[in-house]
Amino acid sequence: MQPIAVIADDLTGGLDTGIQFHLAGMQTLMIVSPGGNLPSHLQPLVAVFNTNSRELPPDEAYERILQTTSALQGRRIYKKIDSTMRGNIGRELDALLDHTSAEMVILTPASPVHGRTVRAGRLYVHGVPLRKSAFASDPHCPPTNDLVALLRNQSAHRVHHVDLDALRADPGHCEAQFKAGTGIYLVDAEEERDLARIAAVARNMHASCIPCGSAGLAAAIPAAYGYDSSHPPSPSSLERCGAVLVVAGSRHPATEAQIRAAETVPGCSRLDVNLLDPASLDGAARCAQTMLERGEIPLLTAASTGFQPARAAEIAAEMGDLAAHIFAAVRVDALVLTGGETAVHVCRALEIDQLRLLGEQLPGIPFSRVIGGARDGLPVITKAGGFGGPEAIRRILERIHTTNG
């Protein structure tokens, strides 16, 4: 099977997509830093490249994708996008269509197992139109449910729509829908069988086609591309450990609910940090150090910083520096990160360059280990900010944490 490159626009999304390939038995590695190259001594079947481009200006996102294409080493591309269509999707696809041999992109953000479905070119989250869901409060959320209009507004290439009836027609008629021209094909999908059919179409189009989607479509790629997944990896989970640090930079309501539930775990305490106040940073670092030395779990959040979308990168960088300060002062056995921008800045501050995907702590919540450097072997659990139920972080901590007593 031809090796695969997953190009993801943020770190947590890249990891939850990469885990789909790992679960099919394919060795999968994450390149954490934007512009990073795959080391010559590490040649996994699946390499995930984080461009961290979701919140960049559109033309900068285009250039970031262009930069990444030079590191792909002939791998077949899977373009990972956010399941709620946040980011610079059209411009990023333009970069791939302009600078690779691909002539078309087949795209669906659908992930039925996570409640994301597409019908009549419109996106629903657990049956609720996107613009009426909890994601509507995100400043980077699309201003419309009409995905065709969204893509046409972002991309210089033609945008087509393939509805459910056409997708579910006989294979010959279905594939004929994709041979009408070049550009971007937005495809409806409501069930896993829809994703399997989209993956099969992408396979049949060979190198002229780039499949594009969330973790949902990624899960259908190994079987469609002919990978023998009859011997998946043995179930793997993280062993219990005493010093666990949780860094929750996401401001999504789902993360807030998860932190509140995690506070009920014995030994867990919430530390709300004003990341723009040096005194708050110093106090949080000292408190977290003391808690970790006692075998307790600090839940670092940015709740006291205030909601400042224009300063999101700066705030995430401060969260990364805070985590690095804590690591320098006390032993940490495992790291739990929620929010893509937070995750990449924490990894950057800790000089984490590669992660090997090893399993799931909960469905859709992967864990990895650091490869190389001072943090070699460190377990890292990642979760997208808007993903998971209210009990997600609590359940993770109950599974992995053990007290000193």
3-class SS letters over 73-84: CCCEEEEECCCC
In this prediction, residue 177 carries a pLDDT of: 86
Regions of the chain where pLDDT drops below 70: 180, 230-237, 310, 402-405
Pair (132, 178) in one structural domain: yes
54 lies in the same domain as 112: yes
- Judge whether 85 lies within some domain: yes
Say whether both 317 and 347 belong to one domain.
yes
On whether residue 233 sits in a domain, the answer given is no
Residue 230 falls within a domain, yes or no?
no
Q: What is the CATH number of the domain that holds 389?
A: 3.40.980.20
Looking at the structure, do residues 259 and 368 belong to the same domain, yes or no? yes
pLDDT of residue 235: 57
Residue 220 shares a structural domain with residue 325: no
190, 224, 258 - which closes a domain: 224
Rounded CA separation 158/180 (Å) = 11
261 and 383: one domain?
A: yes
- Which amino acid, 139? P
In a domain, 22, yes or no: yes
Residues 142, 266, single domain; the answer is: no
The CATH number of whichever domain residue 138 belongs to comes to: 3.40.50.10840
- Whether 238 is covered by a domain: the verdict is no
Domain C-terminal end among 224, 255, 277: 224
Q: How far apart are CA 383 and CA 367, in angstroms?
A: 9
Query: Is 394 inside a domain boundary?
Result: yes
Based on its alpha-carbon atoms, the radius of gyration of the chain, rounded to whole angstroms, reads: 21
Q: How far is CA 282 from CA 86, 194, 245, in A?
A: 34, 51, 16
Tell me whether residue 279 is exposed, middle or buried, using C-beta atoms within 10 angstroms of its C-beta: 0 to 12, 13 to 18, 19 or more. exposed
Q: Is the pTM of this model over 0.85?
A: yes
Is residue 194 located within the same domain as residue 45? yes
Domain that residue 160 falls in:
4-224
| Residues 61, 184 within the same domain | yes
Query: In the prediction, which pLDDT does 249 show?
Result: 82
- The predicted pLDDT at position 139 comes to 76
Does residue 378 fall inside a structural domain? Answer: yes
Q: Which pLDDT score is estimated for 324?
A: 95
| Number of compact structural domains in the chain | 2
Q: Which of 174, 189, 224 is the last residue of a domain?
A: 224
Same domain, 150 and 207: yes
- 239 lies in a domain? no
Q: pLDDT digit string (tens) for 149-164?
A: 999 999 999 999 999 9
Q: What is the 3-state secondary structure (H, E, C) of 145-184?
A: CEHHHHHHHHCCCCEEEECHHHHCCCHHHHHHCCCCCCEE
**Per-residue tokens: 42:** 């590490």
Q: Are residues 189 and 256 in the same domain?
A: no
- Angstrom distance (rounded) from CA 161 to CA 270: 46
Task: Say yes or no: 266 and 208 in one domain.
Answer: no
